[in-house]
Amino acid sequence: MSEAVNSRTVTLAEAETRIIRAFRKQRPVFLWGLPGVGKSELMTRIARLETLGKTALLDVRVALMEPTDLRGMPFYNKDSGMMEWAPPVDLPSEEYASKFDTVILFLDEMNSAAPAVQAAAYQLTLGRRVGQYKLPDNVVIVAAGNRESDKGVTYRMPTPLANRFVHLEVRVDYDSYFNWAVENKIHEDVLGYISFAKGDLCDFDPRSSGRSFATPRSWTYVSEFLEDEDDASESELTDLISGCVGEGVAIKFMAHRKIAKDMPNPADILAGKVKELKVKEISAQYALTVGMCYELKDAYDKFGKKDSKKFHDLADNFFRFMMDHFPTEMTVMGARMAITNYNLPFQANKLKHFKEFFDRFGKYVVKAMED
Confidence of residue 98 (pLDDT cuts 50, 70, 90): very high
Sheet holding 55-61, edge to edge: 55-61, 102-108, 139-145, 29-32, 166-169
Tens digit of pLDDT for each residue in 64-90? 888 777 777 777 778 887 877 777 778
The pLDDT of residue 152 is 59
Average pLDDT of the segment spanning 215-223: 96
Average pLDDT of the segment spanning 94-106: 96
- More reliable by pLDDT, 345 or 204: 345
Average pLDDT of the segment spanning 330-347: 94
The pLDDT of residue 151 is 60
Does residue 2 register a pLDDT over 50? no
Q: Tell me the percentage of the chain whose pLDDT exceeds 90.
A: 67
In eight-state DSSP terms, residue 342 is S
Does residue 45 register a pLDDT over 50? yes
Rounded to two decimals, the pTM is 0.82
Confidence of residue 154 (pLDDT cuts 50, 70, 90): low
Measured between its terminal Cα atoms, the distance across the chain in Å is 33
At 151, is the secondary structure helix, strand, or coil?
coil
- More reliable by pLDDT, 358 or 125: 358
The pLDDT of residue 78 is 80
At 84, is the secondary structure helix, strand, or coil?
strand
Tens digit of pLDDT for each residue in 238-248? 999 999 999 99
User: Which residue pairs, CB below 8 angstroms and at least 24 apart, start in 227-234?
Assistant: 227/187
Confidence of residue 161 (pLDDT cuts 50, 70, 90): confident
Average pLDDT of the segment spanning 159-180: 90
Please give the C-alpha separations between residue 166 and each of 7, 14, 19, 101, 148, in angstroms, as whole numbers. Answer: 15, 14, 9, 22, 18
Confidence of residue 1 (pLDDT cuts 50, 70, 90): very low
Strands (E), the chain: 29-32, 55-61, 73-77, 82-86, 102-108, 129-130, 133-134, 139-145, 166-169
* Cα 250 from Cα 242, distance rounded (Å): 5
Does residue 4 register a pLDDT over 50? no
Tell me how long the chain is. Answer: 371
* Cα 39 from Cα 142, distance rounded (Å): 10
Average pLDDT of the segment spanning 315-329: 96
* Cα 304 from Cα 302, distance rounded (Å): 6
The pLDDT of residue 295 is 96
At 115, is the secondary structure helix, strand, or coil?
helix
Indicate the burial class of 9 (C-beta count within 10 angstroms; 0-12, 13-18, 19 or more).
middle
The pLDDT of residue 70 is 77
Confidence of residue 332 (pLDDT cuts 50, 70, 90): very high
Smallest CA-to-CA distance from 216 within 204, 227, 233 is with 204
